[in-house]
Amino acid sequence: MNILNDIGYLSIGSRLRRIYEKLQIDGDKIYSELGLNFKSSWFAVFYALSKQDNQSITQLANQIAFTHITVKNIVRELEASKLVKITANKTDKRSKVVSLTPKGEQLKIKLLPVWESFGRTLKDLFQVDNTFINALTEIDQLLEAKPLASRFKESHNKASIINAHPKDYKAIGQLMVEVYSQLDGFPKPDEMPRYYEFLQNVGELTQKPQTELFATYSRDNKVLGAVVFFGDMQYYSSGGRAMKEKNSAGFRLLAVSPEARGLGLGRELTQKCIDRAKELGVKQVVIHTTKAMETAWSMYEKIGFIRARELDFNQGDLEVFGFRLSL
């Protein structure tokens, strides 16, 4: 039994390596049978030189997307076979350039029709519509933009966002108190005791109609962040005129644990609220923030929220600023 058939996407690296080895082994066999002193592993470097002579190792590496050391080792093998020569760079004495030797030029002429045949054979093997090549190109570009290690970290740490379990309401309240009390420029518990009592008892808001407490959980069910969503603004419990907004939803009290910062959970909680508002069919989402919450403010604007000065209000000495997002 072939275990690679059972492990799905985990087999991609192994399968690609196995395909590569099969192609390389048979490629070397074909070159040998045709009496050509050439290796499949040399192809990319040699082909690049056949198109443009006198290139540095760095230029070759950038052109074919190989590592510098890989290109350097291939060039050494080609030089040992007297197919390339390495000379001083006339425009930059600090570097050297690689070019084909007369022997290399002669071999190139013999290789061109072989490569054409290889191309036709591989096209038949991987289908005619270039789907496989296009897919590989796209995957290569995606990995260039964000390496596998970064993608793994995001996926491994990715938290689920659901309606908070009632048993976690107390922990969520404590998290909100911790987060808001540590904000620079935001009033402390002794300055606004009633507000922090409100935060501590955030779970009680779920008793209001169309009000939900969303929480993001780690894989071991630890609360990493939370936000309160209001499907009807009359229950928004804020100052100003926001509670009079019709056909609107809103959210408040977004908080992410310090240990989970940088994972994008604030944005995911925000998107959860936007998605819920769309499900309810309302025309807009209303929110408030303060100068002390610069990171959140910037995030909201990038998502598409715009300032709504008519929704501003003061909570004691604290200025609170309104925003809208049209749906």
Same domain, 172 and 298: yes
Q: Which two tokens stand for residue 134?
A: 């296009």
The CATH number given to whatever domain includes residue 106 is 1.10.10.10
Same domain, 178 and 139: no
324 touches 286 (CB < 8 A): yes
Same domain, 239 and 173: yes
What are the residues whose beta carbons fall under 8 Å from the beta carbon of 6, sequence distance 6 or more?
none
Of 296, 291, 294, nearest in space to 314 by CA: 291
Same domain, 244 and 190: yes
Same domain, 133 and 220: no
In order along its 327 residues, the chain shows pLDDT tens digits of 456 566 667 777 777 888 788 888 888 888 898 899 999 999 999 999 999 888 999 999 998 888 999 999 999 999 999 999 999 887 777 778 999 999 999 999 999 888 888 887 777 777 656 676 677 677 767 767 777 656 655 554 556 789 999 999 999 999 999 999 998 888 899 988 999 999 999 999 999 999 999 999 887 788 999 999 999 999 998 878 889 999 999 999 999 998 888 778 899 999 999 999 999 999 999 999 988 887 888 889 999 999 999 999 888 788 889 999 999
What are the residues whose beta carbons fall under 8 Å from the beta carbon of 121, sequence distance 6 or more?
none
CA distance 123 to 130: 8
Same domain, 246 and 273: yes
- Per the DSSP assignment, residues forming a β-bridge with 229 are 212, 251
pLDDT of residue 296: 85
DSSP for 78-136? HHHTTSEEEEE-SS-TTSEEEEE-HHHHHHHHHHHHHHHHHHHHHHHHT-TT-HHHHHH
Of 231, 224, 216, nearest in space to 277 by CA: 231
Same domain, 7 and 140: yes
Same domain, 197 and 310: yes
How far lies 110's CA from each of 32, 105, 113, in Å? 13, 9, 7
Element (H, E) at 320: strand 318-326
pTM of the model: 0.54
| 151 found inside a domain | no
| Other CB atoms within 10 Å distance of the CB of residue 42 | 18
Last residue of a domain, one of 89, 121, 145: 145
Same domain, 140 and 166: no
Domain count, the chain: 2
pLDDT of residue 123: 75
Same domain, 44 and 91: yes
Q: Which domain holds residue 260?
A: 158-326
Same domain, 87 and 135: yes
Last residue of a domain, one of 87, 116, 145: 145
The CATH number given to whatever domain includes residue 195 is 3.40.630.30
